Amino acid sequence: MSSSSSRDSLVLGRVIGDVVDHFSPTVALQVSYNGRRLMNGADFRPSAVVARPRVEVGGNDLRQCYTLVMVDPDAPNPSNPTLREYLHWLVTDIPGTTDVGYGREVICYESPRPPAGIHRVVFVLFRQMARGSVDVAPVLRHNFCTRNFAVAHGLGAPVAAAFLTCQPEGGTGGRRLVIRPPRTTPPAP
């Protein structure tokens, strides 16, 4: 997926706006659960996201470190997200060109288990100023704010983001977020 279509899907999915401000993706971020690669807006059931995902970080320098934040901006319910954002995972000091297993897990992975409705689960990647520059764990998982966290730790704008949707196992829908790739040919006059 090109960075332009990735950014478009982040806008359509209201990740840009609800979780982060506009940014230009500059680093590849690949997330997969049990071998299924995440495409922005794809629906995953809670049973498919129990184990922590494989997250690969691009870049071209092992000395450059990154921070990964995973949040649910729709907790506890998309209609009334009073716990926005719920922090599911926080990993720092991830070397570029590797996966999160080489980073430092500050907040352990907690799988998404939405009680009701269709929730967005957002992965945001930031470039760190230096290894060890993000060393404070948030006290609470609920009411976490990705923007405030980035400011407090001098992280600047995100360098990549991705998201999935997740609803209760027995959920049959409700409003669905459908992300279509942008047109590649202009419409007929």
pLDDT per residue over 73-119, tens digit each? 999 999 999 999 999 999 999 999 999 999 999 999 999 999 999 99
User: What local confidence, expressed as pLDDT, does residue 176 receive?
Assistant: 47
CA distance 2 to 172: 31
Burial of 54 (0-12, 13-18, 19+ CB in 10 A): middle
For the chain, the residue count is 189
Is residue 27 within 8 A of residue 160, CB to CB? The reply is: yes
DSSP three-state, residue 33: strand
Contact residues for 118 (Cβ-Cβ < 8 A; gap 6+): 43, 74, 78, 165, 166, 167, 171, 173, 174, 175, 176, 177
Q: What is the pTM of this model?
A: 0.87
Q: What parts of the chain have a pLDDT lower than 50?
A: 1, 175-183
CA distance 100 to 66: 9
CA distance 36 to 132: 31
DSSP three-state, residue 155: coil
Domains along the chain with CATH numbers: 3-166 (3.90.280.10)
